[in-house]
Amino acid sequence: MAASPKTPIKIIGVGNTFRGDDAAGLMVVRGLPKEDFPQVEIIESPGTGSALADAWQNAARVIIIDAVVAGGPPGTIYRFDAHDLGAALPVSHSPTTHGWGLSEALALGKVFQNLPPVLIIYGIEGKNFGLGEALSPEVAAAIPEVIRRVTEEIQAWLADELPDAVKT
């Protein structure tokens, strides 16, 4: 059963393929089984604050995937509910080229109360962000696990939208 137009699901991968681990979010959304979720909008974003705010517009449920620098070992996977982050946004330390990016978009979205009702952030701790660098082995190894977790969340959300009589 397709998601209702009033409750669209959007998955947003953030990054830059020319800056090593900064491509992590893009690699995750490219690896999602899109054919299994035709009613889910998959978006690749450069990660600017305005692009993110536009991307999550009119969505009831959103997952954003991005590379982060939060002090953990490279390849560490973080999951945050954007509504529970409080004042400290762990994703704000990303050394990417997004400029005004995810953490600023989240902060402004909270101030103006225009965040999607459900907004989940997956961060993958990065290591290599230099121009022309490849994904680090640690981040490359984490990508299939993030794909698995995001796929499970999508499946749960879609099952939640089915009428009770259809659920098994």
Tell me, what's the pLDDT at 104? 61
Residue pair 82/115 in contact (Cβ under 8 Å)? The answer is yes
pTM of the model: 0.82
- Taken in order of first residue, the domains within the chain and their CATH numbers are 9-160 (3.40.50.1450)
Give average pLDDT by consecutive 10-residue segment, the chain, 168 residues: 60 93 96 92 84 82 92 95 65 46 63 77 92 93 98 93 50
Residue 155 vs residues 51, 100, 110, 130, 162: alpha-carbon distances, Å: 26, 32, 27, 35, 11
